[in-house]
Structure 1
Amino acid sequence: MRLLLAPILLAGTMFSAATATYAQEAAPATAAASQGAKPEIGTFGFDETGMDKSVKPGDDFYGYASGGWVKNTPMPADKAMYGSYIILRDLTTERLRGIIQEKQDDPSSKLGRAYATFMDAAKVESLGMAPIQPWLAKIRGLTDRKGYSALTAEAMQMGIYGPILPWVWTDDKQPERMILQIDQGGTGLPDRDMYLSDKPAFAKIRADYVAHLGRVLALAGETNVEARVAAVMALETEIAKAQWTREDASDMGKTYHKFTLAETAQFASPALNLQTVLKAAAPNVTEVLVREPSWMTAMTQIVDKASLEALRDQMIVRSLDSLAPALPDAVEAERFAFYDKALKGTPEREERWKRGTTLVNAQLRDEVAQIYVQRYFPPEYKAAMTDLAKNLLVVMGDRIDKLDWMEPVTKAKAKEKLKGFVIRVGYPDKFRDYAGLEVRDGDLFGNVIRANRFEFAWSVGRTERPTERSDWYMSPQTVNANATYNRLEITFPAAFLQAPAFDPKADPAVNYGAIGAIAGHEISHHFDDQGAKYNEKGILANWWTPKDLAAFDAAGKALIAQYDAYEPLPGEHVKGEFTLGENIGDLAGLTIAYDAYQRSLNGKPAPVINGYTGDQRFFLGWAQFWRVKQREEHLRQHLLTDAHSPATQRTWVVRNLDAWYKAFDVKPGDKLYLAPADRVRVW
């Protein structure tokens, strides 16, 4: 599965050969919708006031398109990064607040009760740490290693980040069924390199983290914490050494390892026994995917060698950090001070209403979603976006036909894969029922624990059952898009389909440059370095000839080298291999979208608007969506942990498209100029 943006899923119409002709004819729907209507942004859907025309497009297309906005837009104090899609998220949060607050006076509404209970800060403070004390007492009562597995299982169900990270999704080799998957955990810092690298910035992060561990233990009522936090840090450093790199952990071929419940007995020590954990937390599970088995083996041994005190202390810290929104303000403030201020550079916390809206939206997302889509997602948006995406699928098929490096047998399989694509726009055709979730007045901690248990039970309850196609990984009120390899799906939630990503009233060139390229990005993910490993049925299986695979890998290596050369911070480069899939998505997505835009013109020349040609407006639409400001601390963490390149470098992918050179008269000597032979072309 690939998302368009890092975090910070109606099943669409199945695309088939029968719909291809319609998709071509329906493509101008976006243009028709824009006639006589005013776009949300600027004269034609682009913010010209945010440009910096003192910058040559060929030197820095990001600066040319968005430099004025970057210079003149203040960074909100509660943000680590800010830009187009963050603004969309803020708008969505405001709308969700309105939906949730309307329910506060309705005694029958779980939304209203949940939100009112969170907003009653005085009640939360009066209760203090009393609500979590029974759980802390259970942790402190761990006096036998054999009890750690049961404690781990209960923590998982409570939503506490622990040594094992479970999630449920479609089985890569049996996409008709769901399976429980286990990912590596056990560390409190976002990446293994933060424990192991000798870079000064990471040394400071480690010092800040040790201080955080001590303050959290103190908030839990512990004393004499200095030596104790050193033991926790030593434990996590050993775990980090065993963890897989992000490159390996995101490789779908390397991470598929299925075990029966009986076979999980190999991952066992007196302290941590995976089979025991699974039997307690997910008793219906008979098979599991352990994505990083060497780590799992090492984890059981590392935990067994650790002192019981270190294991208890680590669990206490994880409990307070994970459940901070349900605890007194001092706990949430400490969590923010490290994870947002120290790690990301964010000066201030969000207002309480924003945090409450986020929490309640997560607990009752489908209940919120039904109101959101009725109120803010017009049917014509769904129709226009679906037509645009269908047009892109046709173009992708045409491009596959014309590839000179792919053999006919592989082309035929690629085209067959395209026929199976599902386009999902706006919202699912079935929403979840929360009848079994109890929400009590005045019991914030209990509400959070019950919601976490409800979510865990629902998720685990889907394992080893037929895949439910109505399940969406993301809610309709999510500002993002994604591709799901093993379901052959591309998904565009309702909240994402707003300007500047998508505006049916805007010039088609801008729409194709923004949402068109994003849709192309998601389509191409099914053919990127990971998506290409899935066949026409969504099964993880090789369907490429050796010659085709070699040609594809060669193009990927060229793109890796291009991105490796980018240095967003002194001494800090983009990781070309780690970001390869997303960079392929950007390059292919923009390429497909450009062809689709040309197709939508039906052979007629594009109008010139405000002095900009259609091609210029297309590329400006792409650049505007990636308009982002980022604090240095956040950018540093982004380069280490995010599979997406930073916004500036995502914008620069234009340098691989011949049409961009012609549109902006880019010449040799310009900083972004690439000779034709050096421009990377994949799809």
Structure 2
Amino acid sequence: MRKILIGGLCATMIAGLAACNDKQTETKTAEAAKPQTTQTATAAAVSKALGSGIDFANFDKSVRPQDDFYSYVNGTWIKNTEIPADRTSTGAFYDLREKSRDDIKAIIEEVAAQKDLKAGTDEQKVADLYRAFMDTTTLNKLGIDPLKPELAKIDAIGNKDQLMAYFGSSQIIGGGTPMAFYVDVDAKDSTRYATHIWQYGLSLPEKDYYFNDAERFVKIREAFVEHMRKMFKLAGFEQPRKSAEAIMKLETAIAKDHWDVVASRDSTKTYNKYALKDLAELAPGVDWNAYLAALGADKQADIIINQPSYVTGLAKIINDTDLATWKTYLRWHLLTSFAGDLGEAFDQENFDFYSRILNGQEEQQPRWKRGVSKVNSLLGEVVGKVYVKRHFTPEAKARMEQLVENLRQAYADSVDELDWMTPETKAAAKAKLAKFNPKIGYPNKWEDYSQLTISATDLVGDEMRAGEVEHQKDLKKLNSPIDRDEWHMTPQTVNAYYNPTMNEIVFPAAILQPPFFNMEADDAVNYGGIGAVIGHEMGHGFDDQGAKFDGDGNMRDWWTQKDLDAFHAKTKALVAQYNGYYVFPDLHVNGELTLGENIGDLSGVTIAYKAYKKSLEGKEAPVIDGLSGDQRFFIGFAQIWRAKVKEEALRNRVATDPHSPAKFRAIGSLENMPQFYATFDVKPGDAMYLEPANRVKIW
């Protein structure tokens, strides 16, 4: 389990990543990609747009751009596009993910077609992992057998000290536990790695799912208990209904002490360093030495507890709950964690609850797509190395490097022009900006998989061994220099991220394609697309959490109090703005949860526009396809957020995702930009008009 406190364009690598980057069925939520026949269904269709890089077939001219710019740019596509039955969403991100998956499939199948691959080679591992996942005959025959050694270990737990030890060993192999241990950079000393503990252990998306009395949540809880009963019955466990109810009761107790999603994204509140000897006082009555020894981390002097009150509450639950119930809980989490690696009956039942009921996905995605995802998950940089050679040109990397530097300079200019910040804080902000480390396309140093053994007949074992290798890699970081070459996304990932403790902005190769980045399009659309993405990630360095870190990646106060107060006033206004956006009549955006991403979006498009204007060097932009440069820029920005999402999945995202829904990512930022008003003649009375005093400008 790794928790990286980073801001992503689409998904944040914190606690399960439910954002636009849907998880695969085997990790409990669903996203797939199915070729569409409707217009602009794939990235290939996007690339056929006119020279401007804009696809006019997507426009809905019945909508005034002054009232709903998102629908004006994307409305016809939204009306005519159906979400494929094996997906919960579709749109610009998902089209590229479909293309990336197809590209990786081609690589995997070429490798898998080879015979007599030498044991231990990367090629053998890719081929056999894919074969293991695709071999449903063997998986159906094995049934629950691959889990029996771990189930026997659970049965053998004789006391609470042994229970704590098993919490540690179970996490290493990928089983579920109520705490998540991980290794990451110490947020207050970015020269060292530290051990951390994050709250964990729930089967439903977030704590509110256990307590909300609305009919939808009541039905989900009922369906969850029934799902557990069915899974236990398939596994041949005794008293499946009674066991399911016991787990629901225990997880409800665990959920009560969980911090909510807003509190858990606060990097100040979640930094709590304890000496190991003081853990007994924080959480009395449990054997911390047994837990940490099982993880191989008992020799460290300290550990960072992200949610201390949760750990205190959990200790009481551990002490007050009988051992038999905890064993049932562990059996359930082992079973559900590996459901996608077992026979088709387990796989389908897992899909039925986590994908169909929770997220509205109608059909299971084709197995080959999930097989590709499995290879990406366990051996991502092996296939990523080939992907880069085939699909990412040196010219694209060079152009991106130039765009990043243009955005960096535009950001520095913008800081100089701020009327609410003192010179002292401006200097500190620019010093941080100058230290941004951009990573573009692919790592300088590729992942080493030599310690991982992969078998074509042992899929569960492959997963467990991968967990063990990853854990050992993390342990080796302790007391070692910081690895600044490490990436937390593969090159074939359609996303981007900012990591505050490294002060790095990272853009994998797969996102550097239309509509985000089009080598054939003019600069206006590229600045509105990938330029806004670059600016978004830079903006995370100065959002409500990123602004707590300096240029060296240390969380410390580098603001004057006056500037900090002014900054908080602006962020408060942005929270209020997004709280006013309704996704459904009964559900609005959570402005506090989405604040960091909303700052990233606003900063990104603002700085990208400034960089675009700067790139013209005082000249007028050419008119292309009947549009001015400014018009193309804003259209380029709006079209990257083109998306449709199933209602069930969208409701889940609003509850758990730090990103606003796509429509509000487009219009929320533009409503604050005077340049947008001027370009599209937005006036009082128009739906997108905000009074100047109510417009938010942060960076």
What stretches of structure 1 move > 6 A for 4+ residues in a row?
none
Q: Which moved more, 1:160-169 or 1:374-383?
A: 160-169
User: Where does residue 29 of structure 1 map in the other structure?
Assistant: none
Correspondence for 1:43? 51
User: Which residue of 295, 303, 320 corresponds with 1:281?
Assistant: 295
1:146 deviation in Å?
Answer: 2.4
In the TM superposition, residue 310 of structure 1 has moved relative to its aligned partner by 2.0
| Contact 2:161–2:290 under 8 Å retained in 1 | no
Q: Is the 1:326–1:444 contact (alpha carbons within 8 Å) kept by the matching residues of 2?
A: yes
Any residues of structure 2 matched to 1:82-481 within 5 Å, and which?
82-104=90-112, 105-106=114-115, 107-108=117-118, 109-268=124-283, 270=285, 272-283=286-297, 285-481=300-496
Q: Deviations over 1:177-231 (max 9, x none)?
A: 2222211012111101111222222111111111112122222211322232222
Asked if the contact 1:269–1:304 (Cα under 8 Å) also holds between the matched residues in 2, the reply is no
Render the CA deviation track for 1:513-559: whole Å, top value 9, x for unaligned: 01101110110111110011012322100111111011101111111
Kindly indicate whether residue 8 of structure 2 is the aligned counterpart of residue 3 of structure 1. yes
* Partners of 1:291 and 1:122 in 2: CA distance: 43
1:659 maps onto 2:675 in alignment = yes
1:626 counterpart (630, 641, 649): 641
Residues 448-490 of structure 1 show CA distances to partners (whole Å, capped at 9, x for unaligned) of 2111211222123212321100111111111100011111110
Does the CA contact (< 8 Å) of 1:262 and 1:275 recur in 2?
A: no
- Matched residue count: 653
Partner AA of 1:257 in structure 2: N
Greater CA deviation, 623-632 or 277-286?
277-286
Residue by residue over 1:235-260, the C-alpha shift from the partner in whole angstroms, topping out at 9 and shown as x without a partner, is 11111111111111110011111123
Match of 1:30 in 2: none
Q: Give me the whole-angstrom Cα distance separating, in 2, the residues matched to 1:324 and 1:162.
A: 16
Secondary structure at 1:656's aligned position in 2? coil
1: CA distance between counterparts of 2:406 and 2:347? 47
Contact 1:117–1:441 under 8 Å retained in 2: yes
What is the CA–CA distance in structure 1 between the aligned matches of 2:479 and 2:10, rounded to whole Å?
29
Please give the residue correspondences for 1:502-581 in structure 2 after superposition, counting only pairs within 5 Å: 502-581=517-596
Show CA shifts across 1:264-313 (max 9, x none): 3335455x533321111123544321100110111111122122232112
Match of 1:22 in 2: none
Shift in alpha-carbon separation, 1:274–1:246, aligned structure 2, 3 A: farther
Structure-1 separation of matches of 2:89 and 2:461: 33
Match of 2:598 in 1: 583
Instruction: Determine the C-alpha separation between the residues in 1 that align with 2:636 and 2:609.
Output: 11
Other structure's SS at 1:207 match: helix
Distance in 1, matches of 2:235 and 2:385, equals 39
Change (3 A) 1:41 1:273: farther
Per the normalisation by structure 2, the TM-score is 0.91
> Separation in 2 of the partners of 1:319 and 1:81?
29
Asked if 1:487 is matched to 2:502, the reply is yes
Instruction: Tell me, yes or no, if the aligned pair for 2:166 and 2:294 is still in contact at 8 Å.
Output: no
- Is the CA contact 1:41–1:499 (under 8 Å) kept in the aligned structure 2? no
Q: Which moved more, 1:607-616 or 1:272-281?
A: 272-281
Identity level (%):
42
> Structure 2 CA distance, aligned partners of 1:204 and 1:465?
49
Cα-to-partner distance string for 1:653-675 (whole Å, 9 max, x where unaligned): 21110111111121211111112
Instruction: Note if 1:607 corresponds to 2:628.
Output: no
Correspondence for 1:76: 84
Q: 1:268–1:275: 8 Å Cα contact kept in structure 2?
A: no
5+ residue gaps, structure 2, are 1-5, 12-16, 19-45, 119-123
Residue by residue, what CA displacement relative to the aligned partner does 1:60-90 show, whole Å, maximum 9, x if unpaired?
1111010100111111111111110111111
Q: Would the aligned equivalents of 2:165 and 2:293 in 1 still touch at CA under 8 Å?
A: no
1:649 paired to 2:657: no
Confirm or deny: 8 A CA contact 1:172 1:538 kept in the other structure: yes
What SS does structure 2 have at the residue aligned with 1:425? strand
Q: What amino acid is aligned across from residue 81 of structure 2 in structure 1? A: T
CA distance in 2 between partners of 1:287 and 1:86 (Å): 42
Q: Distance in 2 between matches of 1:407 and 1:274?
A: 47
Counterpart code for 1:314: Y
Give SS of 1:178's match. Answer: strand
User: Match of 2:55, as an amino acid?
Assistant: D
Alpha-carbon shift at residue 125 of structure 1 (Å): 1.1
Q: Which residue of 1 aligns with 2:62?
A: 54
Secondary structure (helix, strand or coil) at the match of 2:588 reads: coil
Give the partner amino acid of 2:86: D
Please tell me the residue identity of whatever aligns with 1:90: E
Between the aligned partners of 2:136 and 2:678, the Cα distance in structure 1 is 59
Please tell me whether the aligned partners of residues 162 and 290 of structure 2 are also in contact (alpha carbons under 8 angstroms): no
Alpha-carbon distance in structure 1 between the residues aligned to 2:174 and 2:612:
45
Q: What is the rounded CA distance, in whole Å, between the counterparts of 2:573 and 2:410 in structure 1?
A: 24
| Aligned residues of 2:184 and 2:194 also touching (Cα < 8 A) | yes
Query: Structure with the greater relative contact order (CA < 8 A, sep ≥ 6): 1 or 2?
Result: 1
Match of 2:692 in 1: 676
- For the 8 Å contact 1:99–1:368, the answer to whether it is kept is yes
1:548 and 1:382 mapped to 2: Cα distance? 37
Q: For structure 1, which runs of at least 5 residues remain unmatched after alignment?
A: 9-37
- Write the mapping of 1:24-43 to structure 2, written as runs, cut at 5 A: 40-43=48-51
Between 240-249 and 253-262, the greater mean CA deviation after superposition = 253-262
* Alpha-carbon separation, structure 1, partners of 2:143 and 2:246: 28
TM-score by length of 1: 0.93
Which secondary structure does the structure 1 equivalent of 2:621 belong to? coil
What is the distance in 1 between the residues matched to 2:507 and 2:261?
A: 26
* 2:650 maps to 1:635: yes
- The more displaced of 436-445 and 426-435 is 436-445
Deviations 1:615-645 (A, max 9, x none): 1111111111100000000110011000000
Q: Retained in 1: the 8 A contact 2:100–2:492?
A: yes
Amino acid at match of 1:490: I
CA distance in 2, matches of 1:559, 1:53: 30
- Counterpart of 2:250, as a letter, is L
CA distance in 1, matches of 2:195, 2:349: 33
- Distance in 1, matches of 2:102 and 2:484, equals 30
CA distance in 1, matches of 2:459, 2:59: 47
Q: In structure 2, what residue type is equivalent to 1:81?
A: S
SS in 1 for 2:587: coil
